[in-house]
Amino acid sequence: MNLSSRRSRQKGAFAVEMALVASVMVFVLAFTTDVVLNQSLKGKLDRMSYSMVNILKERTQLYNAGDVLDSDQVDELYDVLLQSLGRTVGGFDATQLGMYVEQQKFTEDDDPIEPQVGVHLFSRGTLACQPAVSLRQRESLSVVTTFDRRATLYMVTICYQGKNWFGELMDENYGLVRSYSIMIGR
């Protein structure tokens, strides 16, 4: 077997190998880019959910109101969220945002009050946003205050549909970023 016959059988092998390696590199690059962008977004949402739940906790001081949460206060909270994310997230799209606010109150006997939509549960934004675990399932986080009553709990969940380049290649949605924060009320 001579050298020229070997070379003729090898023609095209480099192109096939290069195509395979390039395909793998595209997947790795898309995956890495998605992870980096969504982790950055997750950090921003973490800070925002923490800020939003602190505003809720301090409502009695900020709004000079009682501990009854109302729709107008949640609307104002959502407006603050929109403005803040608009300044901090590049290419921010408000249609990709959702917010879910929960309040867990307790009776005089320290029994949890069943949350009601529009009274203790509020949803804002066009993106459906639900926490993985509801505040009702976390009621054990509440503490007994010096007034011998259980403190009200607040939870803010923020969802944003981030980049999904790798998910599009895999026909999945890996771009939904969710963050929540829980706070004990005053």
Q: What is the mean pLDDT of residues 52-56?
A: 89
Q: How confident is the model at residue 181 (pLDDT cuts 50, 70, 90)?
A: very high
Query: Using one digit for the tens of pLDDT, what is the confidence trace for 2-18?
Result: 655 566 666 667 777 88
Residues 47 and 56: their CA atoms lie apart, in Å, by 14
Residues 6 or more apart whose CB falls under 8 angstroms from that of 69 comprise 56, 59, 101, 103, 119, 120, 122
Q: What is the mean pLDDT of residues 50-58?
A: 88
Q: What is the mean pLDDT of residues 144-160?
A: 85
Amino acid at 151: A
Q: What is 138-149 written as a DSSP string?
A: GGGG--B-TTSS
pTM for the whole structure: 0.78
Q: How confident is the model at residue 49 (pLDDT cuts 50, 70, 90)?
A: very high
E-assigned strand segments in 3-152: 97-104, 121-125
- Looking at residue 176, its pLDDT comes to 81
